[in-house]
């Protein structure tokens, strides 16, 4: 139905990425401003990339997609920002996320597992953020838009957040998340996944 998320994953080349490839890329990884990982490559390789980045003081943003019920606990401790959607949150914690309160419960549980900052994306409802510093769950709403195709909205959000972390590191986290919500909501108003991502020039310039 319109506005609902349906995703087919064809891993292909992603699963061929291995530790040797990481070694070759270690220079780039350790000099980056932000490293984003998720689970479309072998989870052990993803975790190693997070560890390399983390050890070099690089900001790490982890999106457990597609989610695994038995995620290696080290993913929680090596992610500066742990960002999941409602479905992923439920797979990881067993808690179905139907509202903000549920998202807050998930957030608390993930902080207990060693996360520093958790963002649970809630589709049209925006996000819930919670951190070690601010353990009271905070709702960051998204603007109301007419969703045409929501595939790729999560990646659009994560990509935007990585951009703000790299280029505007002094922005308060809530502001980064609010701006990332705006960019993701632009992406759901067009069809397709990559094809729906806006260019900087086509976005409201107050986002930058």
Catalytic positions are: 155
Prior bond to 66 cis, omega within 30?
Answer: yes
């Amino acid at each position: 139905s319109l506005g609902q998320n349906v995703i087919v994953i064809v891993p292909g080349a992603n699963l061929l990425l291995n530790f040797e490839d990481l070694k070759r890329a270690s220079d780039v990884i350790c000099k980056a401003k932000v490293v984003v990982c998720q689970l479309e490559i072998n989870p052990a390789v993803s975790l190693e990339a997070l560890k390399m980045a983390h050890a070099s003081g690089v900001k790490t943003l982890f999106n457990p997609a597609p989610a695994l019920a038995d995620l290696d606990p080290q993913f929680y401790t090596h992610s500066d920002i742990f960002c999941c959607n409602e479905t992923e949150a439920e797979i990881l914690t067993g808690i179905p996320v139907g509202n903000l309160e549920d998202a807050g419960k998930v957030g608390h549980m993930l902080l207990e597992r060693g996360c520093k900052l958790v963002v649970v994306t809630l589709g049209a409802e925006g996000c819930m953020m919670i951190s070690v510093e601010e353990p009271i769950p905070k709702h960051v709403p998204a603007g109301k838009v007419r969703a045409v195709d929501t595939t790729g909205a999560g990646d659009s959000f994560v990509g935007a957040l990585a951009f703000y972390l790299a280029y505007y590191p002094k922005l308060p986290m809530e502001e980064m998340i609010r701006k990332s919500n705006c960019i993701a909501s632009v992406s759901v108003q067009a069809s397709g996944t990559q094809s729906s991502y806006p260019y900087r020039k086509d976005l409201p310039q107050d986002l930058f």
